[in-house]
Amino acid sequence: MKGAEFLGSRWDWSERLYPVGFTHALLESPRLDTAWARAQEAGAGHGHWFEDIEAILYCFFALAEPVANAANTDESHRERAL
């Protein structure tokens, strides 16, 4: 990301992404299992970027489904864009 000045753990990033409308992209078990199997085929494991299945979960995010009763104020739209 251009101009990024923050390094943090996967957990730190998830705590920053959740409040602005993101969730785990691979939260559904079959998708996560498939991603982990492919990562293992490519050499994932101890000492690599994807050390375990949880590491993959915290690396891929997607926009969360909007909440049905959420107010559509300018403030909420601005927060999602950050």
Residue 61 dihedral angles phi and psi, to the nearest 5°: -125, 155
Residue 5 is assigned to a structural domain of this protein? no
Domain that holds residue 67: 10-81
Residue 4 in any domain: the answer is: no
CB 44 within 8 A of CB 19: no
Looking at the 3D structure of the chain, how many domains does it have? 1
Q: Is the whole model's pTM more than 0.85, yes or no?
A: no
pLDDT in tens, 14-65: 899 999 999 999 988 899 999 999 999 999 888 887 889 988 998 899 999 8
As a whole number of angstroms, the distance between CA 13 and CA 25 comes to 14
